Chains A and B, each alone.
Chain A
Amino acid sequence: MQTMMRMTALSAAFAAAAAFVAPAALAQDSLYVPNLSYRTGPFAATGTPIMNGQRDYMTLLNERDGGINGVRIAYDECETGYNTEKGVECYEATKANAIVTQPWSTGITLQVLPRTNVDQIPVLAPGYGFSPMADGKVFKWAYNPPSSYWDGASMLLNYVADGDLSSLNGKKIVLIHLDAPYGREPIPLFEKYAAEHGFTFLPIPVGVTEMQNQSAQWLQIRRENPDFVFMWGWGAMNAGALTEAARTRFPMEKFLGIWWSGHDGDMAAVGEQGKGYRAVSWNVPVSDSPLMNDIRQHVIEKGLSQIGNQSELDWVFYQRGLVISMMAAEAIKAAQEEFDATVITPEQMRWGLENLNIDEAKLEELGMSGMVVPFQTTCANHTGHGGGWIIEWDGSKFERVSDILSPDREVIEPLEAAEAAKYAEANAPWPANDECSL
C-alpha cells in the first residue's frame, strides 16, 4: 500500500507540475482551431456526428490541399460533455493559441461570450447561441451564421401560413421546447407574432430530467388540439417527442422542428411512423457532391475519420459539421488574403468572419452546391440571415421539400436591437464596435 501511495503522490505531483507550466506551445506555422466538443454525456448522440463532420473537413483540407494557403490547421477537440463547468475549463485551456472558439452549448456560450471581449477571441456559433448576436455593432466578437433561432421561428411560421401570416388568425400553435436557455430563445418572437396576427401561442416546456418521458406534455398537446406543434428540442428530447407523437397518433404533418431537431439518428427511433415530420434547416445533405467524394477519397478511405458507420456520411448533422468547418476555413482564407499573411491572429480572424461571402459561385467552387444556404456577413450583421429550407423525413432519410425561405427581418430586427441593447446595459461597460459604419 505504501508503494501505491507513493506512486499516487508522485504522479499527482507530476501532473500538478505539468499544469503549472504554460499549455504546450504550438508550432508557429499552423492555425490552432479548437472545438469544445461533446462526444460524451447525455447529448453525445447529437454531438458526435457534428464533431465528426467538423473534424473531417479540416482533415480533408490538410490532406488534400496541405492546409489553407500552405498553413496546416491544428484542429483540436476539448471534451465538455455539454457540461458548463467543463466548458469554462476547455475555454481557458485552449484560448492561449486559439484564433477562434466554438463553445457549443448555449450555457457555455453565455459564460464565454463576455470573456471573449476581454480576451479578444472571436466566437463562432453557427445556428445557435443568442439570436441578438446578429447585431454586430454590439456583439463585436460573436458570430452565428447563417441563421438565428428567431430567423428559424419566423421561417417556420411563414411556411405553415404559406407566406400569409394573417391566415393564422384564430389558430393555435404549441411550442414544445427544452426548458433551458436554448429552448426559451424563440418565445419572445412567437409572442410578438401571436399578438400581431391573432393566433394562440402556447409554450410547453420539457425539463432536462424529463426529456425521455414526455407523456404529460403530449397529453396536454392532445387536449389542446393545436393546429401546429413546433419543437425546439435537443439530444434525447427529440427522439422522446417523436416517439410520443407517434404513440399518441399526432399527425406528423402538423409537427415541425428547428434545425437541431432534424437529426437522422433521432428519427431512426420512429422510422416509418415519423414520415411527414418536417424541420427547417440551413443545410441539406448532398451525398453526391464533389466535396463528399473528396471526403470519401481523402479522409474516409484513408481511415482518418472517427465516423462509426458509413451511412452516417449522409446524415444532416454530419454534413452540417462539414459546413460549420467550411465557414471557419473560409473566414481564415478571407483573413489571409486581406492581411497578406499565412498565420493569422484572432483579430484578423474576426475580420474574416465579418467578411464571409458564401454565395452560389463560392459554393460551386468548394463543391458544396446546395449543401448550405448562401449568406453574407458584414460588420453590422453577424448572422447573414441566409434563411433555410424545409426538410421532410420520408421514413428513412430527410428530403428537401421547399425552396429557400427567408425570415421577416423587419419584424425581427427591432427585437434584436432591443435585446442586444439590454444585454450590453446589463454587462456595462460593454465595448461596442464603433469602427462599424454600416
Chain B
Amino acid sequence: MLYRVAGQFKTSYKADYALFPVRQDAWLLTFILLLAFVVFPMTANEFTFRALLIPVLIYSLAALGLNILTGYAGQLSLGTGAFMGVGAYACYKLVTIFPEMNIVVAIALSGFFSATVGMAFGLPSLRIKGFYLAIATLAAQFFLVWLFQKWAWLYNYNASGAIQVPNISMFGVPVAGPNAKAITQYYFVLGIVCVVTFFAINITRGRIGRIWKAVRDMDIAAELVGINLMKAKLLAFFVSSYIVGVAGALFVFLWRGAAEAELFDIQLSFRVLFIAIIGGLGSILGNFLGAILIVALPVLLGVVPRMFGLPISSAMVEHLNIMIIGALIITFLILEPHGLARYWQIIREKLIIWPFPH
C-alpha cells in the first residue's frame, strides 16, 4: 500500500537506471534529509549533537570508506584507524602551516595524503589476497601509529605529543576549536557526509563500481574479461583511503578537539570494521545503520537509567551496556548475516507486496 510500485512505468533506460526507480524511496530519503537538516537541529541539545549526531555521521563516513574497499572491491583492510590518523595529522599540519587556508580545503586536501598512503599500503593487494592482505594492512596500522608517536614534527613538537585543534573560522563563523558551536559543527559534518555519500553512491553503481564488484566476486574472471586488476585495486584503495582520511580529519577537527597517536590504534580500525560488517558489506545505507547501532546505541542506553533516576551505578551501566550491545550484535548477525542493510531490503520487499503476499 505505502510502497506500491504498480503504475510507476519506466519508458526509457535512463528512467530505469535513475537513482530512485521507485518514487517512495525518494520520498523516504527526503524525509530523512528533512529530519537531519531541519528537525534534529531544531530539537537537539549540545549533548545530542556532540555525543550522538556528530559521531554517528563521522563513523558512518569512515565505515563508508572502508566499505568501498572491503564491501565493493573485496580487499580486506585492518588499517582504517591509521588511515584516519593520516587524514587527521595531515589536516593538522596543513592548518598550522597555512593558517589562512579554508578548513574545507584543508580537509579535502588531507584526504589526498591518506589516499596516497593507503595506495602505497595497497600495493601488496596485487599479489596477496584475503587474510594475508589483512595482515599486510595490519602492518600499516602499527607502523603509522608508531610514526605518529615518534615523528615529533607531525605534532609540532608539543610536549604532550598530542595534536590540539586551534580555533578555525569560516566566513567569520567558528567551525573548529573550542569556540565553535555544536550546531555549526553538525551542519558542517552533515554537509561533507552528504556530498561524499552522494559521490560514493554514484561511483559504486557506475562503471567503476561494477569493475570493483567483478574483482570482488572473482578476480581471475574479471581479468579474463579485460579488467585491469592493478588499476581497479589501487583505485579502490585510493578512493577508500580518501574517504577514510576525510573522516579522520573530521573526527579530530570537528568532534574530538584533541588527539594522541594512541587514538588511532587497532581498536578504532576494528570499530569501523564492525560498523561496516554489521551494517552490511557492499551497501551504502548499511554504514549509517551500523554506526547507529555501534556508536549511538551505547550512548542512548547509558542515558536511560540517568533519565529515570534508576539507582544503578555508572560502572554497572557500562557493564550492562557492553553485554547488551554484544548480545544485540550476535543476535543481528545470527538472524541476518548480511547485516542491517539486508534487513531494510527485506522490510522493503515485504512492504511492496503488502497487504497481498503471495
Interface, chain A (partner B; CB < 8 A): 1, 8, 12, 15-16, 18-24, 37, 39-40, 76-79, 81, 84-85, 88-89, 92-93, 96, 106-107, 110-111, 114-115, 117-118, 130, 179-181, 184-185, 187-188, 208-209, 306, 419, 423, 426-429
CA distance A110 to B257 in the complex (A): 8
CA distance A12 to B335 in the complex (A): 18
Which interface class (under 10, 10 to 19, 20 to 34, 35 or more) fits B?
A: 35 or more
Bitwise, B31-44 to A at CB < 8 A (1) or not (0) is: 00000000000011
Q: Cβ of B326 < 8 Å from any Cβ of A?
A: no
> Are A111 and B257 touching (Cβ within 8 A)?
yes
Interface residues of B in 329-344 (CB under 8 A from A): 335
> Are B177 and A427 touching (Cβ within 8 A)?
yes
Interface, chain B (partner A; CB < 8 A): 43-48, 50-52, 55, 149, 156, 158-162, 164, 166-167, 177-179, 255-258, 260, 262-263, 265, 297, 299-304, 306-307, 309, 313-315, 317-319, 328, 335
CB-contact partner of B313 in A77, A181, A185, under 8 A: A77
26 pairs, CB–CB < 8 Å, chain A vs chain B: A8-B328, A12-B300, A15-B297, A15-B301, A15-B304, A19-B47, A19-B52, A19-B299, A20-B45, A20-B48, A40-B318, A77-B315, A79-B318, A84-B256, A89-B51, A89-B302, A93-B303, A107-B260, A107-B262, A111-B257, A118-B179, A184-B159, A184-B161, A185-B160, A427-B164, A428-B166
Residue of A nearest to B149 (CB): A179
Chain A residues, CB < 8 A from B318? 39-40, 79, 81
Chain B's interface: helix, strand, loop or mixed, by majority?
Answer: helix
CA distance A21 to B159 in the complex (A): 41
CA distance A16 to B40 in the complex (A): 11
> Are B51 and A37 touching (Cβ within 8 A)?
no
> Are B178 and A115 touching (Cβ within 8 A)?
yes
> Are B315 and A79 touching (Cβ within 8 A)?
yes
CA distance A208 to B263 in the complex (A): 11
Chain B residues, CB < 8 A from A180? 161, 260, 262
With A19-B303, A181-B162 known, 10 other A-B pairs at CB within 8 A are A21-B307, A24-B307, A37-B315, A39-B318, A85-B256, A89-B51, A93-B51, A179-B149, A184-B160, A185-B159
Residue of B nearest to A425 (CB): B166
Chain B residues, CB < 8 A from A106? 160
Chain B residues, CB < 8 A from A209? 265
CA distance A32 to B166 in the complex (A): 31
> Are B300 and A15 touching (Cβ within 8 A)?
yes
> Are B159 and A188 touching (Cβ within 8 A)?
yes
